[in-house]
Copies of this chain bind each other. A is one copy, B any other.
Amino acid sequence: MTARTDDHMTIRQMCDAFEVTPRTLRFYEAKELISPLREGARRLYTRRDRARLKLILRGKRFGFSLEDIRQTLDLYDRQGTNLPQMEHTFALACERLAIMEAQRAELDEAIAELKTELAAGATLIAEVKRGGTAAA
C-alpha cells in the first residue's frame, strides 16, 4: 500500500499519477519547472509540484515549449510583494490569454471544417454503398 505520507509523493507515485517517467520529472526539475523537496537524496513532490506538473502537461498538449511554459508557470503561484514584478507578470498573463483565445478561435474553425469534411465523406460512402461503383 504505497501510502502518501502527509502531502508528499515519491517520484514513482508521481509517475503513476501523471503517466510520465522518472526521467521526465528529473528533466523538468533540471529545467527549473518544478522543485521538489529532498528527504536525504530522495525527491518529495508537494501539492505545488503536482499543480505545476499538471499545468506543464497541459501546456505541452497545446503545443507550447517547456521554456514558454516555465515563464508562465509563475503566473499561478505569485509570491509577489514586488509591484513592478507583479505588473509584469500580469501583462504577461494577458498576452498568454490572448494567445489562448486566438488558438481557441482557430481550433473552432478547424473543428468546423473537419465536420464539414466528415459529413461529405459520410454522404459519399453512403452513395457508394448504395449505388456500387457507379458514379453519376
Is B100 touching A111 in the complex (CB atoms < 8 A)? yes
Instruction: Tell whether A63 is near chain B: CB-to-CB under 8 Å.
Output: yes
Query: A interface, by DSSP: helix, strand, loop or mixed?
Result: helix
Number of A residues whose C-beta is below 8 Å from B? 41
Interface residues of A (CB under 8 A from B): 58, 60-64, 75-76, 78, 80-81, 83, 86-87, 89-90, 93-94, 96-97, 100-101, 103-104, 106-108, 110-111, 114-115, 117-118, 121-122, 124-125, 128-129, 133, 135
Q: Tell me whether B63 and A110 are in contact (CB under 8 A).
A: no
* Shortest beta-carbon distance from A45 to chain B in Å: 21
Whether B118 lies near A111 (C-beta < 8 A) is no
Contact of A90 with B61 at beta-carbon distance under 8 Å, contacts A81-B133, A107-B100, A111-B104 already known:
no
